Chain A
Amino acid sequence: MIKRYLLLAEDDELLGALLSYRLEKAGFVVELARNGREVKEYLEQNKPDVIVSDIMMPYFSGIELIDYVRHHLGLHTPMIIISSAGNEDNVLSAFELGADDFIPKPISPAELIARIERVLCNV
């Protein structure tokens, strides 16, 4: 079975842990980053199959992360954005910069896995 690496950028430890547990259970190798710096450090050394990132993060927002990945690193890694409801502007910006999908909070872990699978299939 092919291992699929997933970078989960979520500042909420509880939710991060929960999602991480659920995604690992779904067969992903999950790397949990708590802020933008950790994400940057990880991306400089690794190339995940898919990135799941919260928009609101310390040091490095999800929008900046997309720009960094797409334009700075030049990667075409599938990216899924997690955002709270009513944050449409950011979501639109994310899509303009190259996000592949979007999932609102509160998150249904099952739905998240389904979206990831779909994004990976498109790739």
Chain B
Amino acid sequence: MVIESLKTYQLNALLEVPKIQTNLLWDLTFVFSALGILYFFFIFYYKRRIRLKSELIARRKKDVAPMISTFLFHETEDSKEEKRNYVELKIAIRELLKDARNKEVIAEVLLDLQKDVSGDARKRVYRLYKELELHLEAIKKLDSWRWEIVSKGILELTQMKVTSSYGFIKKFINDKRGIIRKQAQISAVTLTHEGINFFLDTTRYKISEWQQLKLLEVLQNLEGFIPPSFKVWLTSNNRDVVLFSLRLIKHYHQIDAGIAMIPLVKHKNDQVKAEAIFCLKEFRVKEAKETLKDIFSNCKTDIKIMILDFLAVLGEKKDLFFLENIEKRETNFIVKNKIHSVLNVIQPGTIVPTSEIDKDLDKTQERKTQIKPIPTNTLVMEEDNPLPPKENIDSFGKEQHNSLDNILDADNEDEEIFNLCFKEELEDILNELEEESEFTAILPLDFLPVVTENNEFLVEDKAPTIEEKELDVDLGNSLNDEFQEVEFQLQLEDLLDGLKKEDIDDVDIKNIDVVEASFLPLVTNDEIEQTPVQIDSDKISINEIEVFHEPVDYEEDYFEMYRELLKVEWMPVEESSLPSLDKSIDWNGITQSLAPVETQPTITNNTETMTANVKTKPLNSLPEKEKTMNCFSIFAEMFRDSDKESKLILLDEILAVGEEKELEFLNIVKTDKEKSVRIKAEKIYTQLAKSLENKANEKQDVLSHKKRSGVEVISGNPIVKEGQNDAKNVGKLSLDEQEKALENYLDIEFDLSLETQEQKDGKQHKLKEPTEKEPVKKEVEISEKAGFLNSIKKITLKFFNTSA
């Protein structure tokens, strides 16, 4: 390797510098020096020549200028001396014009002059130019093969307004050389009014934007120019001619071309399309509207915007449908915004701002509107009784509600509500119950708040005697609560069913409203038989859930009882529960049983009125306000702030835990904006209706089975012991017996046991008093289950709503 590399170096070393002859070098030096000198010589020569020429021209211009001035301003009225000078100058100029250079000089002078002067002086220049036949020289230039000379000739002829040269110039309109072509186009248009027609008819080449502007400027400066109807060229094969014609139509406001422009909105070229739409908008061509609507979807954004601009100007209300349709389909943000603005232009207020709007304000308004349906009984109570301080309502009701809304999530809301609100309270209550074993007849449901307080107020308002109170409690409450107790029983059964299935079962809040009074002191046989306890009237409070029995005057008591009955505001009850209710209470029997006892006519009348009211007043004919209560559903509130997916999930939940009131709510949901929600609501409605029907059938089967086996009936109705509470038999008894019968009748017992349905089926149903600790314990166990929690939640929410 090393040897090879050395060889290489050796070879390089053998290279020698070529020998150049010195003489040759010197020769080359002389040659290039001579060329340099020659180059500079020519430069100086031509520079001097040009300078001399310009000096000569300037000198000649100086000489010619006064001559031209004399020629320009010569008048026939001049003096003889001036006329003689004019003739001499004329002869001199003729001599000068024999020389081509002089012609050039004079032409240049005249061209310069026509730039600096105006008015009559300029016209004289034009005239002189033609008189001196300088235009012939310019026309000769048009035959030159050199483009710059041809261009110069065209320019000269155009500037000096040589109209006779139009025929020579127009043939350059379609010249291959761009500069000559453009100059010829401007020249043709400038020289004659027909030039523009010829140009638009014959031009085959593209017309640049700049050229169009120049031509437009020329046309503007043409004196006495009457523009032709440019719509003729809208059908040209040259796209630029069409475009230029559109611009000319727009410039000269040729409204008659409006209809001819309509087909151009379908032109392939967007520039032509845009220009046509703009013209149509400017000329208010309504006929183009439908065509524009047709092409809208296939257009680009710019064209769409232009079409929308057109519709903003010429749109009518009948176009709103089209705009709304395209608004739904359009994905481009700009176009969509434009559609909104057009909609609002055509019909102000169609689109209102939605983004960055404070939704809390809307929610507040919604809440305000939702507060309207307040239960009738509550309203009556509120009217009769003083409300608790507002501050308490606000602080407890609203804030608590809001906090719940904030905290709750869909999965654990039952537990959370319970933990937040009731766990401690329930524990306290249960502890108290354990300690106070003497209050065994009281259900552990007295934490339900509203009705007890109201009743208390009622008692206080009337300021009754102790006797009245007792009767009030005994008769008034029991009669008043007949219906409510039935509902309570129903609810209890539902609760038990729910627990049995270990499912979250909604308790009918409406029914609970009815029940609210039903867990007040329950009058049992034992209690009635007990010796009445004398109590200080001041200490009487229904909140304390105690029952006091005292002997009373029947007349007054019955009067009070009737009065209370007449005041009854029947709670809205679901239709499904109506038949059983009607069957369970024999209103005729009550009237008849009371009739022999009552001697005073007013009381008798009242009794009749009451029974008639109760009988004839169908519960489904409740006022609208009450009806709205019927469709109250906890899902309604959730639905309000939910999106589409949440709604669908909630619908599933309705199917799982829904009751009959949810059916009504589902009816409302069927009209939801979202199609999928509507469809699902219908499905859920059908399924829920079926499941509820099945449940009802099961209940009826159980009841019929029990009836057949001679067991006391518990069907959600007051339990009337056979032979004891038979109201029909009351009238046939003696006064004492009647009294007893009435007491027995009013002594409606409830099955408060928490046995399951299976247990019920297996055992004979006896009225079980909640004095035993077993049910209480059971309740504690059960209360931790979801169904019970859910019930509590409902009650709480109902309470909040009522308070609010």
* B67-89 residues at the A interface, CB under 8 angstroms: 68-70, 72-73
A56 to B109, CA, bound (A): 21
Contact B69 A106 (CB under 8 A): no
Partner of A17, one of B65, B118, B120: B65
Known contacts A21-B69, A21-B70; is A14 also within 8 Å of B61 by CB?
A: yes
Contact A22 B73 (CB under 8 A): yes
A54 to B773, CA, bound (A): 122
Q: Does A109 contact B (CB under 8 A)?
A: yes
Contact partners of B113 in chain A: CB under 8 A: 14-15, 18
A108 to B119, CA, bound (A): 6
A108 to B72, CA, bound (A): 13
Contact A106 B61 (CB under 8 A): no
A109 to B112, CA, bound (A): 15
B119 to A: closest C-beta gap in Å: 4
Q: Does A12 contact B (CB under 8 A)?
A: yes
Contact mask for chain A residues 7-18; partner B; CB cutoff 8 A; 1 contact, 0 none: 000001111011
Q: Does B121 contact A (CB under 8 A)?
A: yes
Contact B117 A110 (CB under 8 A): no
* A17-73 residues at the B interface, CB under 8 angstroms: 17-18, 20-22, 25
Contact B62 A13 (CB under 8 A): yes
* B665-680 residues at the A interface, CB under 8 angstroms: none
Q: Does B640 contact A (CB under 8 A)?
A: no
Contact partners of A18 in chain B: CB under 8 A: 65, 68-69, 72, 113, 116-117, 121
A16 to B: closest C-beta gap in Å: 9
Contact A105 B116 (CB under 8 A): yes
Known contacts A13-B61, A22-B73, A25-B73; is A106 also within 8 Å of B66 by CB?
A: no
Q: Does B122 contact A (CB under 8 A)?
A: yes
A37 to B295, CA, bound (A): 72
Contact mask for chain A residues 75-105; partner B; CB cutoff 8 A; 1 contact, 0 none: 0000000000000000000000000000001
Contact partners of A14 in chain B: CB under 8 A: 61, 65, 109, 112-113, 116
Q: Does B763 contact A (CB under 8 A)?
A: no
Contact mask for chain B residues 772-791; partner A; CB cutoff 8 A; 1 contact, 0 none: 00000000000000000000
Q: Does A120 contact B (CB under 8 A)?
A: no
A59 to B395, CA, bound (A): 92
Contact A106 B117 (CB under 8 A): yes
* B97-139 residues at the A interface, CB under 8 angstroms: 109, 112-113, 115-122
Contact mask for chain B residues 583-613; partner A; CB cutoff 8 A; 1 contact, 0 none: 0000000000000000000000000000000
Partner of B119, one of A17, A25, A111: A111
B102 to A: closest C-beta gap in Å: 15
Contact mask for chain B residues 44-70; partner A; CB cutoff 8 A; 1 contact, 0 none: 000000000000000001100110111
Contact partners of B68 in chain A: CB under 8 A: 18
Contact partners of A107 in chain B: CB under 8 A: 116-118, 121
Contact partners of B70 in chain A: CB under 8 A: 21
> Which B-chain residue is minimally distant from A10 (CB atoms)?
B116
> Which B-chain residue is minimally distant from A105 (CB atoms)?
B116
* Total number of A residues with any Cβ neighbor in B under 8 Å: 17
Partner of B117, one of A13, A20, A109: A109
Contact partners of B109 in chain A: CB under 8 A: 14
A4 to B112, CA, bound (A): 29
Known contacts A17-B69, A18-B72, A22-B73; is A106 also within 8 Å of B120 by CB?
A: no
Contact partners of A13 in chain B: CB under 8 A: 61-62, 65
A18 to B72, CA, bound (A): 9
* Total number of B residues with any Cβ neighbor in A under 8 Å: 20
What is the predominant secondary structure among interface residues of chain A facing chain B? helix
A22 to B68, CA, bound (A): 12
Contact partners of B112 in chain A: CB under 8 A: 14
Contact A106 B73 (CB under 8 A): no
A14 to B112, CA, bound (A): 8
> Which A-chain residue is minimally distant from B122 (CB atoms)?
A106
Contact partners of B65 in chain A: CB under 8 A: 13-14, 17-18
A111 to B62, CA, bound (A): 25
A21 to B117, CA, bound (A): 14
> Which B-chain residue is minimally distant from A107 (CB atoms)?
B117
A17 to B65, CA, bound (A): 7
Contact A108 B69 (CB under 8 A): no
A28 to B: closest C-beta gap in Å: 14
A97 to B: closest C-beta gap in Å: 25
Contact A17 B122 (CB under 8 A): no
Partner of A110, one of B62, B115, B119: B119
Contact partners of B61 in chain A: CB under 8 A: 13-14
Known contacts A14-B65, A17-B65, A18-B113; is A108 also within 8 Å of B120 by CB?
A: yes
B52 to A: closest C-beta gap in Å: 19
B124 to A: closest C-beta gap in Å: 10
Contact partners of B122 in chain A: CB under 8 A: 106
Contact B72 A106 (CB under 8 A): no
A109 to B: closest C-beta gap in Å: 5
Known contacts A22-B73, A25-B73, A106-B122; is A17 also within 8 Å of B117 by CB?
A: no
Contact B117 A108 (CB under 8 A): yes
Contact partners of B72 in chain A: CB under 8 A: 18
B114 to A: closest C-beta gap in Å: 8
Contact A12 B116 (CB under 8 A): yes
Contact partners of B119 in chain A: CB under 8 A: 108-111
Contact B116 A110 (CB under 8 A): no
Contact B66 A21 (CB under 8 A): yes
B121 to A: closest C-beta gap in Å: 5
A25 to B112, CA, bound (A): 22
Q: Which 9 A-B pairs have the closest CB atoms?
A: A108-B119, A21-B69, A106-B118, A17-B65, A15-B116, A18-B69, A108-B118, A14-B65, A106-B116
A: which residues have CB within 8 A of B? Answer: 12-15, 17-18, 20-22, 25, 105-111
Give me 9 other A-B pairs in contact (C-beta within 8 A), A15-B113, A21-B69 excluded: A14-B113, A17-B65, A18-B116, A21-B73, A22-B121, A106-B116, A106-B117, A107-B117, A111-B119
What are 13 A-B contacts with C-beta separation under 8 Å? A13-B61, A14-B109, A14-B112, A14-B113, A15-B116, A17-B65, A18-B117, A22-B69, A106-B122, A107-B121, A108-B118, A109-B117, A109-B121
B: which residues have CB within 8 A of A? Answer: 61-62, 65-66, 68-70, 72-73, 109, 112-113, 115-122
